[in-house]
Amino acid sequence: MLKLLSGFALGLMLCACSAQAVDASRAPLAGDLVPLNSGPIAEASAYQQHCGICHLDAGQGVPGAFPPLDQRLAGWSGSDAGQAYLVSVLANGLYGAVEVNGQQYAGAMPGLAAQLSNIEMAELLNYVVTEFADGAAVFTESSVAASLDAVGAGPSLPLRPQ
């Protein structure tokens, strides 16, 4: 009986491990997430799923809670330092006091590196920059990888362009 039980426990562990392995290695997104790379409608729904729950559908944000994603993004995406900041915010999150359009925010955005691949971060950033900021779609899978190499997994706040 004991042997049977421990066999059962081992089976459970193996099962949990393989589920985790599948999860960690998923290259394209699994069914729980909206796949990107399929045109503007898919990008809009990926934005709604990953960002819009806080920053709202038109990027307008919620005063005092979630900052708007607005014209500042165009300027930031036009420089290496600004791109690195934006990539870091998506991958590592953002914690601490920031001022946006005269309004103070002292919130916390969770890092999304575990949920988003580099190409997905590139597409989401291109979406917000072109939709909400009249900027250009400058992010690519390799530019995101280069930004991540440059910034590592440290806090984003010190990287924020003035």
* Contact footprint for ligand HEC (CB under 6 A): 50-51, 53-55, 66-67, 69, 86, 89-90, 94-96, 98, 100, 105-110, 112, 124, 128, 160
Distance of closest approach, residue 94 Cβ to ligand HEC, in angstroms = 4
Give the residue with the Cβ less far from ligand HEC, 113 or 150. Answer: 113
Give the residue with the Cβ less far from ligand HEC, 95 or 146. Answer: 95
Instruction: Tokens for 153, please give them.
Output: 């997994």
Distance of closest approach, residue 40 Cβ to ligand HEC, in angstroms = 16
Distance of closest approach, residue 5 Cβ to ligand HEC, in angstroms = 42
If you write DSSP's letter for every residue of 73-127 in order, what string do you get? HHHHHTSHHHHHHHHHHHHHEEES-EEETTEEE--EEEP-TTT--HHHHHHHHHH
Q: For residue 60, is it left (φ>0), alpha (ψ between -120 and 50) or beta?
A: alpha
Distance of closest approach, residue 7 Cβ to ligand HEC, in angstroms = 42
Distance of CA 144 to the CA centre of its chain: 11
